[in-house]
Amino acid sequence: MAYLFLRKVLFVRSTTALGSIEDFAKEKREKLFVRVTLFGILVSSFHFFEDLYAGTDIAPFFDILITIVLCVSYWLHHKGHQSAARIIGLSFLNTCFAVYACIVPQGVGIYFYYFPLMAISMAIFGASERTMRMFFVLLSFGLLVSLFLTDFDLIGSFEIEAPNVETFFIINLVSSSFILVTCINFILTINEKSEERLHVLAEEVKKKNIDLEKTNAELDRFFYSTSHDLRSPLLSIKGLVNIAKNEASEPKIKQYLGMMNDRVDKLDVFIKDIIDYSKNTRTEVRPEKVNVAKLLEEVQENFQFLEGADKIKFQNELKVKETFTDKTRLTIILNNLISNAIKYHHHDQTDPWIKVVMHNGNQTLGIVVSDNGPGIEEERQTKIFDMFYRGTERSKGSGLGLYIVKETIAKMNGTIKVESVEGEGTSFIVKLPVSATHNLN
């Protein structure tokens, strides 16, 4: 339990650290958007005054329109509407440059701006915004290709005269190249910084993993030793209670002593569950040769004095003699499944039985523990493997038994499922991977 808690803490810290990388990249993308927007305002304003001075007809209108839209995008971004700012800015610029490129001479080089637009789209949208990123990259690329395919007559044959075409070509080439280089440099910088931060975080996670393993080992030793230390005085108390019960003459005192004995038994079961859980979490799977018939016989003998066990008929159908698996964990699985079948059986019914079937498969050991008891309600069947879940009011256990079974089977890379019909009985079906199984001759 402590292990799960600490593992969750480490996971939270790791995801928080990785989240900080995304926060860093997001901050850098926002700064890039601001810089590119301000640079665009500067360039469009410069073009406005130059086109106005040169006496071109419509160009100053486009220049001032671009300036206004970029100012609006900057204002929206400043007010916290980053998504709207990016969408409005990129949508308008893609459309505007397509129209602009069609009405001015091709030699002016307005189409150059589609290259930095694609780079900007790649840079200012994060990993979680792939759809928007690809949309605007494809939009810019599609409009650029369309301009050349239609010989820059995308909106029809309409062109204005522009003086100093060579000068405007150089200005557009330089300014678009500057933006393109800025975006590429930004992407490379983000990658370098992210790699640096990931390296630092990897070292931190490595150190935390070492600390976690040390703490986890100490906690496991604490749980294991404490549980064992608690069992010794409990067994002594149980022995003393039984002696007192035998020597007591008054029925009332015997009743109280019996109740004390029940509480001690309940606490002892809980401690044994903790020990089983600790064994499963702190030790690796150690396969060994197991005589399944002998093991099953030992498990069933341990429950012969359990309340109601003497009224139940045990049926064993073993199609495998020996197997190669973790004996301790197999014992934990059988102990819990069989003890549950005994505890929650209908002891007063006619012919109560518990059947254990064990067979070999394709490098698997199949185990089916079934009974003709009261069964489990359908809505409870998905909850019975939860920690501390108690399926019925009759439950006297710790609520850890089936949870431990599930965790133990998971540790062995096996599977477990339950099939139950209320009023008819229950079957637990287990499959465990094994190295070798042998059929009975």
Burial label for 379, CB within 10 Å (0-12, 13-18, 19+), is exposed
441 — pLDDT class (breaks 50, 70, 90): very low
* Numbers of helices and strands, H then E, in the chain: 10, 8
Query: Given this model, what pLDDT does residue 223 score?
Result: 67
Which helix (H) or strand (E) covers residue 243, if one does? helix 165-247
75 — pLDDT class (breaks 50, 70, 90): very high
Query: Given this model, what pLDDT does residue 346 score?
Result: 77
Query: Given this model, what pLDDT does residue 411 score?
Result: 87
Q: Are 325 and 286 in contact (CB under 8 A)?
A: no
| Per-residue pLDDT tens digits for 157-189 | 556 666 677 777 887 788 888 878 877 887 777
Q: How far apart are CA 306 and CA 252, in angstroms?
A: 24
Which helix (H) or strand (E) covers residue 359, if one does? strand 353-360
| Token pair recorded at residue 140 | 């810019």
| Per-residue pLDDT tens digits for 403-436 | 888 888 888 899 999 888 888 888 999 999 887 5
Query: Given this model, what pLDDT does residue 12 score?
Result: 42
Strands 288-291 and 353-360: unpaired
Give residue 97's identity as a one-letter amino acid code.
F
Q: How far is CA 185 from the centre of its chain?
A: 34
Does residue 440 carry a pLDDT above 60?
A: no
List beta partners, residue 14: none
| Cα→Cα distances 86→129, 138, 162, 163, Å | 12, 16, 31, 33
| Per-residue pLDDT tens digits for 297-342 | 888 888 877 777 788 888 888 888 888 888 888 888 898 888 888 8
Domains of the chain and any CATH numbers = 2-205 (no CATH), 285-439 (3.30.565.10)
Does residue 138 carry a pLDDT above 90?
A: yes
Does residue 438 carry a pLDDT above 70?
A: no
| Per-residue pLDDT tens digits for 224-248 | 666 666 667 777 777 777 777 777 7
Query: Given this model, what pLDDT does residue 123 score?
Result: 80
Q: How far apart are CA 399 and CA 410, in angstroms?
A: 18
- The 3-state DSSP class for residue 360 equals strand
Buried b (16+ CB within 10 A) or exposed e, 309-326: beebebeeeeebbbbbbb
139 — pLDDT class (breaks 50, 70, 90): very high
Strands 364-371 and 425-433: antiparallel
Output the pTM of the full model. Answer: 0.48
Q: How far apart are CA 136 and CA 183, in angstroms?
A: 15
Q: What is the DSSP letter of 310?
A: G
Does residue 57 carry a pLDDT above 80?
A: no
Burial label for 345, CB within 10 Å (0-12, 13-18, 19+), is buried
Q: Are 104 and 160 in contact (CB under 8 A)?
A: yes
Query: Given this model, what pLDDT does residue 14 score?
Result: 43
Does residue 10 carry a pLDDT above 60?
A: no
Rounded average pLDDT over 105-130: 84
